[in-house]
């Protein structure tokens, strides 16, 4: 990389959701500060950076209200969906996830390619909840749950898909 060039940023999966994910006015009352936090959140490229920002929010404003938790967790899913990165946010492997659909009680992960049988065994064998597969014009997986449990399951699924894909290469 030449000096002054921008670092390569892995493409993040599209996210479609019906979750209320925002910073409430009574949590961050100053509009300029709120815009700054949204910008910083959008600029995070690693889970470590997101965790640092989350801790800063807890320190400055207290416990995150549910819409803010959803905002940060949905950002986490997009970061993780971009694939593994090094400590500087550079991609270590090609992304596998094309899009995420996270709704009230179901989350779907659309993949850029079908998983190999060994990858499927790795993913299914490592999870302690049911995963549904779908195919047709697109290939992907679906998990069900409610509230933060759904987000946690989706996070685990994304993590396992990334690990299985990396191990297969």
* Tens digits of residue pLDDT in 102-123: 999 999 999 999 999 999 999 9
* Tens digits of residue pLDDT in 51-84: 999 999 999 999 999 999 999 999 999 999 988 7
Question: Quick check: helix, strand or coil at residue 77?
Answer: helix
CA 42 to chain centre: 12
* Tens digits of residue pLDDT in 136-169: 888 999 999 999 999 999 999 999 998 888 877 6
CATH topology of domain 20-81: 3.90.1150
**Domain ranges for the chain:** 20-81, 97-168
pTM over 0.85: yes
CA distance 120 to 139: 12
Rounded to 5 degrees, φ, ψ at 15 are -125, 125
CA distance 104 to 108: 11
β-partners of residue 63 are none
């Amino acid at each position: 990389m030449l000096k002054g060039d921008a670092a390569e940023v892995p493409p993040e999966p599209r996210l479609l959701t019906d979750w209320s994910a925002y910073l409430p006015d009574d949590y961050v009352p100053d509009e300029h500060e709120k815009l700054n936090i949204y910008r910083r959140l959008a600029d995070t490229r690693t889970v470590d950076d997101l965790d640092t920002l989350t801790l800063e929010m807890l320190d400055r404003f207290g416990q995150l209200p549910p819409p803010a938790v959803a905002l940060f967790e949905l950002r986490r899913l997009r970061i993780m969906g971009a694939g593994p990165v090094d400590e500087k946010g550079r991609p270590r492997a090609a992304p596998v996830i094309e899009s995420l659909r996270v709704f009230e009680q179901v989350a779907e992960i659309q993949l850029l390619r079908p998983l190999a049988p060994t990858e499927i065994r790795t993913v299914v064998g490592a999870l302690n909840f049911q995963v549904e597969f779908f195919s047709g014009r697109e290939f992907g997986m679906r998990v069900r749950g409610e509230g933060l449990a759904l987000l946690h399951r989706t996070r685990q699924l994304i993590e396992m898909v990334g690990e299985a894909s990396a191990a297969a290469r």
